[in-house]
Amino acid sequence: MTTTGINYDELARKAAGNWRRFTCFAWWERPEDPDDWTVVYTHNRDSGLLDKSNGAAIAKALEPFTEGDDPTVIPERHSHFACGWVDGFAIRVFAPDGAVTDAFKTWCDLQDRLLDYPVLDETDYSNREYDAAIDAIRQEGRRLVIDDPPEDWPNRVFDWLWQHNDRELENRDDRGAYPSTDSVREALAELGLLDSDN
């Protein structure tokens, strides 16, 4: 047990060699001492914005351990029958001297943070929500907007909706907002960007 309240030794014993308990699993490029490693996953092809955001934050935190001649973290992408692929990491749990590695402790710290609050990086998650909303507006409005519109027209529509109809920008399913056709049409009309045929 440490001052953080995390029992790294106990978690390490449970995690080391966890991949042996996976069903229908093949690890083609495993290290020479695979029982001292754990395989963890962060997101998959079908993941929502939150898992993708947290996956990016985890990757950033673990990046220092992927460097050098003897890394203690190896990025992994594995095929999966249901969702195409899953991304994650192989993390060395035990060093050759039997000590729990800093890489595994970092993983544990991140998981502990997620127990208290589900978002590791608020800014990244917010940016992903915004980008998804902009993509949805562009898709919904492409048939409605005038020819040769300003490049930032989806951003203008987002801003108008934010000020006048922000419920249309709610992220209801962790895929980002998807404003209705009527709301995008109204925004474009108010902004002077609605094609006359619509």
Domain boundaries in the chain?
Answer: 8-116, 122-190
User: Closest by alpha carbon to 57, among 121, 8, 11, 152?
Assistant: 121
Task: Give me the residues paired with residue 38 across strands.
Answer: 91
Asked whether the predicted pLDDT for residue 198 surpasses 80, the reply is no
Length of the chain: 198
CA distance 111 to 117: 10
User: Closest by alpha carbon to 14, among 35, 32, 44, 45?
Assistant: 35
Residue 38 tokens, joined: 């754990």
Asked whether the predicted pLDDT for residue 172 surpasses 90, the reply is no
Question: Are the CB atoms for 187 and 145 separated by under 8 Å?
Answer: no
30-76 confidence digits (pLDDT tens): 999 999 999 999 999 999 999 999 999 999 999 999 999 999 999 99
Task: Give me the residues paired with residue 91 across strands.
Answer: 38, 73
User: Closest by alpha carbon to 157, among 138, 176, 129, 178?
Assistant: 138
Looking at every residue in the chain, the average pLDDT score rounds to: 94
106-152 confidence digits (pLDDT tens): 999 999 999 999 999 999 999 999 999 999 999 999 999 999 999 99
CA distance 68 to 47: 31
pLDDT at 25: 86
CA dihedral 79, 82, 86, 90 (to 10 degrees): -70
Sheet holding 84-92, edge to edge: 37-44, 84-92, 73-80
pLDDT at 1: 44
Q: Between 168 and 28, whose confidence is greater?
A: 168
Q: Between 49 and 22, whose confidence is greater?
A: 49
Residue 20 tokens, joined: 């042996």
pTM of the model: 0.89
